[in-house]
Copies of this chain bind each other. A is one copy, B any other.
Amino acid sequence: MRVIYNQELKDVADDVEHLTQAVSQAMHGAGKALIDGDMDTARAVANGDKAIDEIAKRVIDQCVRFLAQQSPVATDLRVIVATQRLSTTLERMGDLAQHIALTVLRTSPSSPLPDDEATRAVFQRMREFLDITADRLPGMLADRDTGTAEEVIRDDNQLDEMHDRTFDVVLSDSWNGTKQQLIDVVLLARFMERLGDHAVSVARQVVYIVSGFDPSKEPQGLDD
């Protein structure tokens, strides 16, 4: 029975690794689609979200079954509780990456972003930040690496500042994008900022698994 218990925990961990890799790939792809104008990648991210949803659902269902059949306690219970939460969050991150990709596809062959230096610069910085974040996620989860988790949590304020800067850029008198471009810039920046917030949420679950302690509330900012 202990063999089955351990095997089931391992299966959950394998699926979480799979899910995290898929979301990480989607985040990279969203940036490539938006900043590099890569339409093949945009399509791949848009189409790949269904698979992310399916893995997340599978993980969550496995966790509930495990609770019903194994009645875990202590660390194993924290792992199962945290895994349900972070899987839900990872699934939403996949959705956000898909939103970015769909926006790129909708406006193609034009970029959703106006041909404006300041706008492109801030989105390039956000893209780089999310590439770093995407690279941190798999190891953070697989290794329960609270050091990396704390970096993710701490660094998120940088993304919030970039997000705030986006508003300064578009509100400046010299910004002359169309109304549609203004809408797309605001929403794309929000999607990227939310990706960072959700990464923090996942990092907090890693800290919770290891320490049993839930760091301070969700990050500041308009989260939904």
Residues of A within 8 A of B (CB): 53, 57, 64, 67-68, 71, 73-74, 77, 81, 84-85, 88, 92, 95-96, 99, 102, 167, 170-171, 175, 179-180, 182-183, 186-187, 190-191, 194, 198, 214, 217-218, 222-224
Q: A53-B217, A182-B179, A194-B224 are in contact. Are A64 and B77 (CB under 8 A)?
A: yes
Query: Which residues of the other chain, B, contact A102 by a CB distance below 8 angstroms?
Result: 222
How many copies of this chain does the complex contain?
2
Q: Are A167 and B187 in contact (CB under 8 A)?
A: no
Nearest 3 A-B pairs (CB), nearest first? A71-B71, A194-B224, A99-B222
Q: Nearest CB to that of A171 among chain B residues?
A: B179
Rounded to whole Å, the gap between the CB of A15 and the closest CB of chain B is 17
Tell me, in angstroms, the Cα distance from A68 to B75 when the chains sit together. Answer: 10
Tell me, in angstroms, the Cα distance from A126 to B186 when the chains sit together. Answer: 21
Q: A170-B179, A190-B187 are in contact. Are A224 and B92 (CB under 8 A)?
A: yes
A-B contact pairs, 29 of them (CB 8 A): A53-B217, A67-B81, A68-B74, A68-B77, A84-B85, A92-B223, A92-B224, A95-B218, A95-B222, A96-B224, A99-B222, A99-B224, A102-B222, A167-B183, A171-B180, A171-B183, A175-B179, A179-B182, A182-B182, A182-B183, A183-B186, A187-B190, A187-B222, A190-B190, A190-B224, A191-B222, A191-B224, A198-B224, A224-B224
Rounded to whole Å, the gap between the CB of A22 and the closest CB of chain B is 16
Beyond A64-B81, A167-B183, A170-B183, list 20 extra A-B contacts (CB 8 Å): A53-B217, A64-B77, A67-B77, A67-B81, A68-B77, A84-B84, A92-B223, A95-B222, A95-B223, A99-B224, A102-B222, A171-B179, A175-B179, A182-B183, A187-B222, A190-B190, A190-B224, A191-B222, A191-B224, A198-B224
Q: Nearest CB to that of A187 among chain B residues?
A: B186
Query: Which residues of the other chain, B, contact A68 by a CB distance below 8 angstroms?
Result: 73-74, 77
Query: Which residues of the other chain, B, contact A224 by a CB distance below 8 angstroms?
Result: 92, 95-96, 99, 190-191, 194, 198, 224
